[in-house]
Amino acid sequence: MLFAALYRLFAPRRALLFLLTLLLLGAGLTGLTRLEVREDIESMLPDDTSRVADDFRRLQQAPFARKVLISLHGSQITSTATLLEAADGLAAALSSEYFSRAATGPAMLENNRLPDWLETNLPLLLGADDRQRIADELTPERVRGRLETDYQRMLSPEGWLLKGGIRRDPLELRNLGLDKLRFVNPIAKTRLHNGHFLSSDGRSALIIADSSVAITDSGGGARMLEQFRQAADGVLPKGIEASLVSGHAYTVANAEAIQRDLFVVLTASTLGLAVLFMLFLRSWRSLFVFLVPVSVVGLAAVAVSWCYPAVSGVTLGFGAVLLGIAVDYGLHVYFVLRQGDEEPEIALGRISRPVLFGALTTLAGFAVLLTSSLPGQRQLAIFAMTGITSALLLALIVLPHLVVPGWRPTPRRLYQSLAVEPRRKSGLLLLLWLAILVGCSWKVAEVPINGDLRSLSLIPAELLASEHELQQTWGNLRSLAMVFAEGGTLQEALAANDMLFELLRRELPEAPVVSLAPLLPAATTQANNLRHWREFWEQRGEATRRLLREAGAERGFATAAFDPFFAGLQRQPEPVTVATLRQVGLGDLLDALLLDQGEKVQLVTLVPDTPEVAALFTADAALPPGIHLVSQARFGREVGNAIRADFMQFLTLAGGAVLIMVSLLLRRPGKILLALLPVATGLVVMLGTMGWLGMEFNLFNIVATILVIGLGVDYGIFMVCLDDPGEDKATRRAVLVAGMTTLVGFGALVFAQHPALHSIGATVLLGIGGAVPTALLVVPALRRERR
């Protein structure tokens, strides 16, 4: 056998072997320090050309995704003036180091040029529907009604202010222009008070800020939040409270939760491993077993960096935890050398076969992840495969020289009761196993798959309450769906945007839409509007003049009262451009809704994220070219579908790979089935219990499932490879301890508050919790039954 021969080769040259090993591991650790690590979640999203990947990239451009929203709430007795003063004070107190801009109101309403600008540009902005509305107003009754209103307004004390407007626009056509402003207000539930955002109940004010801190920067985010708290404590008067909602708050909450969890989980798993050590190992040399997976982390990370320019932080963290499974190989080697009755090279030769095959099945499981569309999962596959291979070689070539045989611990009663004497209760045991299997199978298909990435994040109750309050007070700012109208040039994009707006108004007339189209139509649309406007008044101008004269005379208006109106109809307005919109104070809106990326221009339209909107943008809908819907709800569903498809693909491929490996190793159908029993039981118990408990399946559960498959098969192979299940106590003990170290190491994650860590812990705890007893108790019992 190869490994027995290698043992003999290095036995007299141990110093050289250790030196080579240290050099290799040292190189790995050096490489680890030079890695470029990325902390964002993008590695956990598809990087292919799929719609999910495309949607994610577009979601990053949501106008409010990167904004910091600060809502100020006053008490019952807080006056509006005090509240708005507090908002101004807090905005000024926010440090420019973290908050690059803080606005307490929309810039567009800070100047009064907008109404006049709209009135002047009506010929360019009004479309066919608007012209029809004008035509409907040009009846004697309607005109008489309008002039009666104008007359009464002239009687009021405000009359001298309104006179010019009434002469220029007796029919109030300007209302059609003002009506377009409702399409450029993304904060649905706001009203403006002295240029400030004020909630409809008058009790809350809003600050919208930009931040130079990256949303994924937990350290910078924490400092930013602290600065906000200090500023709020310093400037807000008694009775006014401020809450901040932004992506930073989530990042900081998650980073803090993970730090707390790591303390709890590491404490729990360290204590657990210490107990296992005291019960089963009791030798300082066993520490080398635990060093095997730790020492290969650097090598695995370097291997990933050879394939990818930047390594995901998630891959490193999760991969390092995953490598904990490599401790199993060392445990088998340790037990067979330390507690077996054979010479080391014979024992090594005997154990190397199942260890090698166990590792190969695990590698096959992880190799399946190479087909994933998620770069993070592919990186994880390379990381795990390199780490497992390195750990396997260390366990079979180096570890035997560190674990000197000769010491035997006294068998413990706990171990005996758990694994050695099951034979008298075989029937009862098998019945119990079968009952559990049937009970769990019942619910396997009922595990829902949750593709919402937010479900992988910890959302503290306080933050959730702030988000809910923000939504109640100001509308659904942060989760509107976006529709992109794209073009190679600004005019192409504007033309697509016009078609999109028309579609939305036609199909979903009641939906609140935020779009630039009503105020910035494409040049061709403006030219068309102007042409139709002129044709309209050429046809109706004289009749309208007559109507106004006759109806006006009834109310005492002079014949020339409305000459300014007819003069205005002849004016030639300048085309509306991006520059003119900036001049009238719509710069913020342009920055949010117009994305000029050089080679292409995109215009964003915000719509409610409802099934009706999604239905309008289904794949088979006849949409104008360059139109794409990006909806968080649909994105969640698509990621969910991708996870479901990935899971089925992984399960099929991993199952097939494992079956092939086990068949090659064991060859006999009976043995193959027995070897697969622990993994099958583990999966059924895992999914069934999740179904009974109403738990959901997420992105991290897939990787954890592959872990369960790899380890579960290992246990089966080891137990089937035993010549006599009752006699080879070293192997049985190795399986038991390996299973328990996995349960302690990964299962401790179930104590974590963070949903991602908790879900990994729960999956492994249930899966391995089902596989280990099956391997140790059911497999031997069935083998006895067969005999």
Partner 1 sequence: MKRLMLLLTLLLACMTPALAEEDPGLALDRILAELEHSAAGIETLASDFVQEKHLEMFRETLVSRGRFYFARPDKLRWEMTEPVASGFLLNGDSGSRWHERAGAAVPFDIAREPGMQLIAQQLLAWARVDIVWLVRQYRMTLVSEQPVTLKLVPLQAGAEQFVEYLQIGFDAERRYVETVEVHEPGGDSTRISFAGTELNQPLDPALF
Q: Which of 33, 76, 157, 413 touches partner 1 by CB under 8 A?
A: 157
Rounded to a whole number of angstroms, the minimum distance from the CB of residue 157 to partner 1 is 5
| Interactions with partner 1, residue window 640-669 (CB under 8 A) | none
Q: Give dist(CA 614, CA 605) in Å, integer.
A: 14
Q: Give dist(CA 726, CA 424) in Å, integer.
A: 12
191 phi, psi to nearest 5 deg:
-130, 155
Regarding 556 and contact with partner 1 (CB under 8 A), the answer is yes
Q: Give dist(CA 718, CA 678) in Å, integer.
A: 11
Q: Give dist(CA 77, CA 279) in Å, integer.
A: 67
Q: Is the dihedral of CA 587, 591, 597, 601 positive or negative?
A: negative
Token pair recorded at residue 371? 């087909």
Which of these ranges, 161-169, 326-334, 506-514, 526-534, lies near partner 1 under the rule CB under 8 A?
161-169
Which of these ranges, 33-41, 150-158, 270-278, 341-349, lies near partner 1 under the rule CB under 8 A?
150-158
| Comparison of 100 and 583: residue with beta carbon closer to partner 1 | 583
Rounded to a whole number of angstroms, the minimum distance from the CB of residue 241 to partner 1 is 23
Which of these ranges, 190-198, 399-407, 522-530, 675-683, lies near partner 1 under the rule CB under 8 A?
190-198
Regarding 192 and contact with partner 1 (CB under 8 A), the answer is yes
| Comparison of 557 and 697: residue with beta carbon closer to partner 1 | 557
At residue 193, the 3 state secondary structure works out as strand
Regarding 166 and contact with partner 1 (CB under 8 A), the answer is yes
Q: Which of 15, 77, 155, 461 touches partner 1 by CB under 8 A?
A: 155
Rounded to a whole number of angstroms, the minimum distance from the CB of residue 168 to partner 1 is 11
282 phi, psi to nearest 5 deg:
55, 35
Rounded to a whole number of angstroms, the minimum distance from the CB of residue 167 to partner 1 is 6
CA distances from 555 to 116, 167, 544, 629 (A): 27, 14, 17, 53
Regarding 29 and contact with partner 1 (CB under 8 A), the answer is no
Rounded to a whole number of angstroms, the minimum distance from the CB of residue 186 to partner 1 is 19
Regarding 167 and contact with partner 1 (CB under 8 A), the answer is yes
Per-position x/- string for 340-379, each x denoting binding to partner 1 as judged by CB under 8 A, each - no binding: ----------------------------------------
Regarding 156 and contact with partner 1 (CB under 8 A), the answer is yes
At residue 198, the 3 state secondary structure works out as strand
| Comparison of 112 and 371: residue with beta carbon closer to partner 1 | 112
| Comparison of 105 and 712: residue with beta carbon closer to partner 1 | 105
Q: Is the dihedral of CA 773, 774, 775, 780 positive or negative?
A: positive
| Comparison of 169 and 261: residue with beta carbon closer to partner 1 | 169
Regarding 160 and contact with partner 1 (CB under 8 A), the answer is yes
Rounded to a whole number of angstroms, the minimum distance from the CB of residue 565 to partner 1 is 11
Which of these ranges, 100-108, 552-560, 633-641, 676-684, lies near partner 1 under the rule CB under 8 A?
552-560
Rounded to a whole number of angstroms, the minimum distance from the CB of residue 523 to partner 1 is 33
Q: Give dist(CA 667, CA 661) in Å, integer.
A: 10
Q: Which of 20, 23, 161, 465 touches partner 1 by CB under 8 A?
A: 161
User: Is 286:734 a contact under the CB 8 Å cutoff?
Assistant: no
Regarding 182 and contact with partner 1 (CB under 8 A), the answer is no
User: Total residues at the site for partner 1 (CB under 8 A)?
Assistant: 25
Query: Which of 105, 102, 107, 188 is closest to 480 using CA atoms?
Result: 188
Per-position x/- string for 111-130, each x denoting binding to partner 1 as judged by CB under 8 A, each - no binding: -x------------------
Rounded to a whole number of angstroms, the minimum distance from the CB of residue 162 to partner 1 is 7
Per-position x/- string for 62-91, each x denoting binding to partner 1 as judged by CB under 8 A, each - no binding: ------------------x-----------
| Comparison of 189 and 634: residue with beta carbon closer to partner 1 | 189
User: Is 236:86 a contact under the CB 8 Å cutoff?
Assistant: yes
Regarding 558 and contact with partner 1 (CB under 8 A), the answer is yes
Q: Which of 1, 162, 428, 567 touches partner 1 by CB under 8 A?
A: 162
Query: Which of 604, 630, 605, 601 is closest to 487 using CA atoms?
Result: 601
Regarding 637 and contact with partner 1 (CB under 8 A), the answer is no
Which of these ranges, 48-56, 254-262, 551-559, 593-601, lies near partner 1 under the rule CB under 8 A?
551-559
Regarding 595 and contact with partner 1 (CB under 8 A), the answer is no
Token pair recorded at residue 487? 């073009």
| Comparison of 552 and 739: residue with beta carbon closer to partner 1 | 552
Query: CA torsion, points 445, 448, 449, 453, in degrees to nearest 10?
Result: -170
- Token match 């035509």: residue? 135
| Comparison of 174 and 532: residue with beta carbon closer to partner 1 | 174
How many CB atoms within 10 Å of residue 119? 17
Measure CA of the first residue to CA of the last residue in the chain; give whole Å.
30
Q: Which of 30, 152, 230, 539 touches partner 1 by CB under 8 A?
A: 152
Question: For 514, which DSSP code?
Answer: B
User: Is 640:450 a contact under the CB 8 Å cutoff?
Assistant: yes
Strand partners, 243: 71
Q: Give dist(CA 303, CA 384) in Å, integer.
A: 10
Rounded to a whole number of angstroms, the minimum distance from the CB of residue 202 to partner 1 is 8
Q: Which of 97, 110, 158, 550 touches partner 1 by CB under 8 A?
A: 158
Rounded to a whole number of angstroms, the minimum distance from the CB of residue 508 to partner 1 is 29
Q: Which of 228, 277, 290, 557 touches partner 1 by CB under 8 A?
A: 557
Strand partners, 482: 606, 630
Which of these ranges, 158-166, 266-274, 325-333, 755-763, lies near partner 1 under the rule CB under 8 A?
158-166
| Comparison of 421 and 563: residue with beta carbon closer to partner 1 | 563
Rounded to a whole number of angstroms, the minimum distance from the CB of residue 145 to partner 1 is 10
Regarding 561 and contact with partner 1 (CB under 8 A), the answer is yes
Q: Is the dihedral of CA 495, 501, 504, 509 positive or negative?
A: negative
Regarding 434 and contact with partner 1 (CB under 8 A), the answer is no
**How many residues make up the chain in this entry?**
787
Pairs from 17-20 (Cβ < 8 Å, separation ≥ 24): 17/397, 17/398, 17/401, 18/398, 18/401
Rounded to a whole number of angstroms, the minimum distance from the CB of residue 111 to partner 1 is 12
Regarding 154 and contact with partner 1 (CB under 8 A), the answer is yes
At residue 628, the 3 state secondary structure works out as strand
Residues 6+ apart with CB under 8 A from 724: none
Residues 6+ apart with CB under 8 A from 266: 748
CA distances from 783 to 27, 739, 778 (A): 47, 20, 8
Rounded to a whole number of angstroms, the minimum distance from the CB of residue 101 to partner 1 is 25
Regarding 173 and contact with partner 1 (CB under 8 A), the answer is no
User: Is 408:356 a contact under the CB 8 Å cutoff?
Assistant: no
How would you label 554-593 residue by residue, b for 16+ Cβ within 10 Å and e otherwise?
eeebeeebbeebeebbeeebeebebebbeebbbebbbebb
Cα angle 280, 282, 283 (rounded to 5 degrees) comes to: 130
| Comparison of 156 and 416: residue with beta carbon closer to partner 1 | 156
| Comparison of 101 and 153: residue with beta carbon closer to partner 1 | 153
Regarding 194 and contact with partner 1 (CB under 8 A), the answer is yes
| Comparison of 167 and 582: residue with beta carbon closer to partner 1 | 167
User: Is 292:330 a contact under the CB 8 Å cutoff?
Assistant: yes
Token pair recorded at residue 321? 């935890």
Q: Give dist(CA 208, CA 246) in Å, integer.
A: 10
Regarding 274 and contact with partner 1 (CB under 8 A), the answer is no
- Where do contacts with partner 1 occur on this chain (CB under 8 A)? 80, 112, 152, 154-164, 166-167, 191-194, 556-558, 560-561
